[in-house]
Amino acid sequence: MAEKMDLEDLSFEEMLKGAVKAEINAKEVYEHMADRVDNFVMTERFEFLAGEEKKHEGFLRNIYKSVGSQRDLDVPEETPVPLPYIRYGDDIDESEIIEQAMDAEIASRDFYRKMAKKADDAGLQRNPKKLLNYLAGMEQNHYEILKEEFNMMSEFEEFDQYYPGMHQGP
């Protein structure tokens, strides 16, 4: 499960940049999974999640602009935010990637909640607290989607042994 996050030493701007980087990474993972799975329903779920992460990136970039930054948001190579990195590739089991993604969604939820609290203390002209709490709720929803897919995958793995291709669409 996600580790405790220490965000005290990070500025609100650093947190935003790290959050954008995390959303970009999550989108890449979900795009990879959409291309990889044979189950057309799961493909659509992962495409949906990739699209959601792209929207979140846009929300965060808008927050960056709305808090008065005159500069473009430079996405760091490595995020200073202690969010779990999702290892993915063809050599890693789909179920392991989904488990990692579930942990990352919960960590993101917790991060956005903490970020919303920090926004109160940042003295910003336009406080993005409501949007950050909304993002936290969306991350919880993503966790629930992944949890359901993980459970279905586990349940149907045995079924596929008897009926190969059961979940490959029309």
Q: What is the CATH number of domain 12-162?
A: 1.20.1260.10
Report the pLDDT value the prediction gives residue 72, as an integer from 0 to 100: 80
Type of residue at 36: R
For residues 126-155, give the mean pLDDT.
90
For the chain, which residues make up each domain, given as ranges?
A: 12-162
The predicted-structure confidence for 5-15, as pLDDT tens digits, reads as follows 667 788 888 88
For residues 16-40, give the mean pLDDT.
91
The answer to whether the CB of 2 falls within 8 A of the CB of 103 is yes
Report the pLDDT value the prediction gives residue 162, as an integer from 0 to 100: 42
Report the pLDDT value the prediction gives residue 170, as an integer from 0 to 100: 55
At residue 1 the predicted structure's pLDDT band, cuts being 50, 70 and 90, is very low
Burial class (CB in 10 A: 0-12, 13-18, 19+), 32: middle
DSSP string over the chain: -PPPP--TTS-HHHHHHHHHHHHHHHHHHHHHHHHH-S-HHHHHHHHHHHHHHHHHHHHHHHHHHHTT--S--PPPSS-SS-------STTS-HHHHHHHHHHHHHHHHHHHHHHHHHHHHTT-SS--HHHHHHHHHHHHHHHHHHHHHHHHHHHHHHHHHHSTTTTS--
For residues 96-112, give the mean pLDDT.
93
Residue 92: DSSP 8-state: S
Q: Whole-prediction pTM value? A: 0.82
d(CA 141, CA 144): 5
* pLDDT above 90 for 121: no
Report the pLDDT value the prediction gives residue 75, as an integer from 0 to 100: 87
At residue 168 the predicted structure's pLDDT band, cuts being 50, 70 and 90, is low
